[in-house]
Amino acid sequence: MLHLQRRAINCAYGKNRSVSVVSGKRPLIIIGMLLASLLLMGVLGWQSWRLQQSNDVAAESVLREYGTLVADEYGRRITSELGYRGYYQLIAKIGELPDAVAMKAALSQFPELTELASGFFVLDERGLQTDSIPQTPALAELLRSIYAQLAGGDGPFHSLTTDPGGVQLIYATGPAPSGGKRIYGFAVAHSGIAYYMQRAFDSGPLLPPSLAGGRVGNELLFLEVTNPAGDILFETNRQFDSNLTISKLLGDDYQGILDGYQVRVSVDPDSAAILLIGGLPESRLPLLFAVMIIMMIMTSSAIWLFRREQAVMHMRSDFVSQVSHELRTPLTQIRMFAETLLLDRARTNEESRRCLEIIDRESRRLSHLVENVLRFSKISDTTRVDRHSQLLEPIVRDVCETMEANANGATIAVASADERVEANIDADAVHQILMNIIDNAIKFGPKEQQVMVSLSRKGESARISVEDQGPGIPEGERDNVWNAYYRLKRESDTAISGTGIGLSVVRELVEAMEGRYWIDAPNGGTRINIDFQT
């Protein structure tokens, strides 16, 4: 019979073990699914980010293309304005004057051309004449070379620069008043060029009105023009200068009057939505990132809660195992000594009485364990107590006498007890509190120790203290021992049994009666103090 029972137990254990293995894999599967969901969300976010990048690149490309279009249009306009309305008009005015001095004197008659020239020169058979232009050897040699060859090509005038970054000269060739040939012209004043550049900018939209319905005008364009020396001659709307700015050399169109000049252009980045056909796709990245953050928080919370639930389930499983073991021990004792009496195996009256005492002791122990479990099962709900003012001394002595029978070699003594101390308490709850504290003192202390219980009045409170002679509780763990299932690190590998809920029941009952609880160790060991309101 016993053999069959063992086989049944082993089969049940094997079945439970297989179920436990399956249950152990399930949390990993769930966590894996949560992490996979988070990963998929990350992939979606990455793809959306790449899409947004692609949209941004397309928008930047379009803005640069329009910037190039503006640069080309502005180059055409400034060449026309400066070449025809500026240089050509001035060359035509001075072409019939005999010398450089007369050219400068006549210039005052044409206010719009006054700022365009900084000096004049004439080179004919009489030699080189200048006004307000320094006659450097390089300038004289350059002009004589042109005079000797009558170089310059076709066109009403020509442009040259004495040296890189030097003076720019506009000249023309023709017959001298006294006969023969001559070269004449003027040195360009950059301050006068700015006037024509502004006119070119103000003469109309640089972007065709057909683009964006004319809603992107010159006021949304950054434009800057520099001469070969790098000096800024003209600029407007500096606030739109960005990483989308394009640079373009104006080239040698119109006799090279702008050769070496550079124009920089950019379009207001905010106008991309207007210029792009169909508009710039609205960015969903902020919303997506917000959803991703919420998803990450929710997933992390779910994993944390799941792991915590798994830990609670594990603790509950251990609790059931511990309770089963704790209940089995007194039941075995009760059954064994009851059978001894039933089978008349007790040889003397003293042995019979001893059996009855053990049955009584173990039944009390069993009642205490059951009461603890029942109390603990109600902790999740609101703990209810029936409080009224009553004396504490009878309760303390009754508990000490009861626990003395289960002391396992220890001595339970009332060190001092004020018989007049009353408190607003629930007697059954106080009874359970003291039994749990003393039971822990017996269980974790030395076998022959003395557990001292005292009762006294402390101001407006009634204090019960239970002090043992055990190894004590480290100060860093004194707050944790009140939590359910908590065990000291030094006891995690010991064979001391227990349900792990005793002090958590104490905490809940004390708090329900609006009392205080704490642990100290004035004389070594452990002293647990409970204060109740009087």
Tell me what percent of the residues of the chain surpass a pLDDT of 90: 17
pLDDT score, position 322: 67
Looking at the structure, give the CATH architecture of the domain made up of residues 284-377: Orthogonal Bundle (1.10)
Spatial CB neighbours of 401, under 8 Å, sequence gap ≥ 6: 412
- Residue pair 197/78 in contact by the 8 Å Cβ criterion: yes
- Which pTM value belongs to this model? 0.48
β 450-458/411-417 pair status: parallel
- What are the residue boundaries of the structural domains of the chain, listed by start? 33-278, 284-377, 379-533
Describe the chain by its helix, strand, coil percentages, rounded to 5.
Answer: 55, 20, 25
Q: Which residue has the tokens 């040939």?
A: 181
Segment 15-19 shows an average pLDDT of: 42
Q: What is the DSSP string of 67-113?
A: HHHHHHHHHHHHHHIIIIIIIIHHHHHHTT-SSHHHHHHHHTT-GGG
pLDDT score, position 294: 79
- Rounded to an integer, what distance in angstroms lies between the CA atom of residue 195 and that of residue 233? 10
Q: Would you say residue 219 has pLDDT above 80?
A: yes
- Residue pair 363/355 in contact by the 8 Å Cβ criterion: no
How buried is 320 (Cβ within 10 angstroms: 0-12 exposed, 13-18 middle, 19+ buried)?
Answer: exposed
- Rounded to an integer, what distance in angstroms lies between the CA atom of residue 199 and that of residue 421? 105
- Exposure string of 231-265, with b = 16+ CB inside 10 Å and e = fewer, is eeebebbeebeeebbbebebeeebbbbbbbbbbbb
- Identify which has the larger pLDDT, 392 or 140: 392
β 527-533/461-467 pair status: antiparallel
pLDDT in tens, 280-308: 556 666 777 777 787 778 777 777 877 77
Spatial CB neighbours of 60, under 8 Å, sequence gap ≥ 6: 244, 272
- Residue pair 238/252 in contact by the 8 Å Cβ criterion: no
Q: Where are the alpha helices (DSSP H) in 238-348?
A: 253-256, 272-275, 285-342
pLDDT score, position 7: 43
pLDDT score, position 452: 92
- Residue pair 438/403 in contact by the 8 Å Cβ criterion: yes
Q: Would you say residue 365 has pLDDT above 90?
A: no
The CA-to-CA distance between both ends of the chain, in Å, stands at 60
Question: Which long-range contacts link 149-153 to residues 24+ away (Cβ below 8 Å)?
Answer: 150/181, 153/255
- Rounded to an integer, what distance in angstroms lies between the CA atom of residue 180 and that of residue 258? 31
Q: Would you say residue 470 has pLDDT above 60?
A: yes
Q: Which residue has the tokens 């039933």?
A: 342
Question: Which long-range contacts link 20-28 to residues 24+ away (Cβ below 8 Å)?
Answer: 27/306, 27/307, 27/310
- Rounded to an integer, what distance in angstroms lies between the CA atom of residue 57 and that of residue 65? 12
β 450-458/461-467 pair status: antiparallel
- Rounded to an integer, what distance in angstroms lies between the CA atom of residue 326 and that of residue 333? 12
User: Which amino acid type is present at position 253?
Assistant: D
pLDDT in tens, 401-430: 888 877 778 888 888 888 889 999 998 889
CA distances from 140 to 94, 121, 124, 145, 257 (A): 20, 10, 12, 9, 21
Q: Would you say residue 54 has pLDDT above 90?
A: no
Which residue from 234, 232, 230 is spatially nearest to 201, judged by alpha carbons? 234
- Identify which has the larger pLDDT, 154 or 215: 215
| β-sheet bridge partners, residue 160 | 169
Tokens standing for 489? 């690190």
pLDDT in tens, 476-489: 888 888 887 777 77
- Residue pair 392/530 in contact by the 8 Å Cβ criterion: no
Q: Would you say residue 193 has pLDDT above 50?
A: yes
How buried is 412 (Cβ within 10 angstroms: 0-12 exposed, 13-18 middle, 19+ buried)?
Answer: buried
pLDDT in tens, 316-327: 776 676 667 667
CA distances from 348 to 57, 264, 337, 353, 355 (A): 103, 119, 14, 9, 11
Decide which of 3.40.190.10, 3.90.1010.10, 3.40.50.920, 3.30.565.10 is the CATH code for 379-533.
3.30.565.10
At 152, phi and psi to the nearest 5?
135, -20
The CA dihedral of 328, 331, 332, 337, to the nearest 10 degrees, is: 170
Segment 44-70 shows an average pLDDT of: 80
**Strand positions, DSSP E, 132-212:** 158-161, 168-175, 181-188
Tokens standing for 320? 């059931």
| Cβ neighbours, 10 Å, residue 509 | 25
pLDDT score, position 179: 75
- Rounded to an integer, what distance in angstroms lies between the CA atom of residue 486 and that of residue 501? 8
At 358, phi and psi to the nearest 5?
-65, -40
